[in-house]
Structure 1
Amino acid sequence: MEIKEMQRIVDEWIGQFEEGYWSPLSMMARLSEEVGELAREINHQFGEKTKKPDEPIGDLALELADILFIVVCYANSLNIDLEDAFKRVMAKYRYRDSDRWTRKD
């Protein structure tokens, strides 16, 4: 799925509710919450903090998708084209970091 399609699907989903997109500050809080949930799960699976015996293993893919959903909501609410923004950020990384690490042969 292309990013524009994600943005369209999220906009259709949000558009069916009177409340619409949350304010930028509320979305920032929501994004922080979702990143915290991802961090907690990564710590459980790969870090020193073990889960309780009765606690199920979380779904890292779903946690990442929650973050992606909020990022798309953020972009939509601010009329940001994420495809264009992603192209620009990759150009920045290619320029800035092209010689930063050891390349594979």
Structure 2
Amino acid sequence: MTQSLAYKAIMEKKQRKEAMQQHRAENNIFRVRNCVEDKFEYISMVEAFWKSIQDKDLDQKTKDFVWMVAYDAHWSGTHWLRPSMKPELQQRAVCSHCGVIEDLEHKM
């Protein structure tokens, strides 16, 4: 394998990962947008969402939380169901009260 082929393979893998993360974020923002529309009868724009998390009035912890929600980066729900996880850790994926997958939406 040449350095050029290795570099191309690394870059392709990185682009696939970024595309998957972007798709996940778009789905989460779409869900948030629908929720806002249902509760407040206000249709927000995706650009407004990204601009709002850069607002200087928000503290950094809030910005970080919103970013992690958008990118599904919190360790909850199906993150614990990865095959590499030990069985005792996989149990964290399921709500102990009702038995459904315990993601952030379920916790709220």
State the TM-score, normalizing by the size of structure 2.
0.29
- Structure number with greater CO (CA < 8 Å, separation at least 6) is 1
State the TM-score, normalizing by the size of structure 1.
0.30
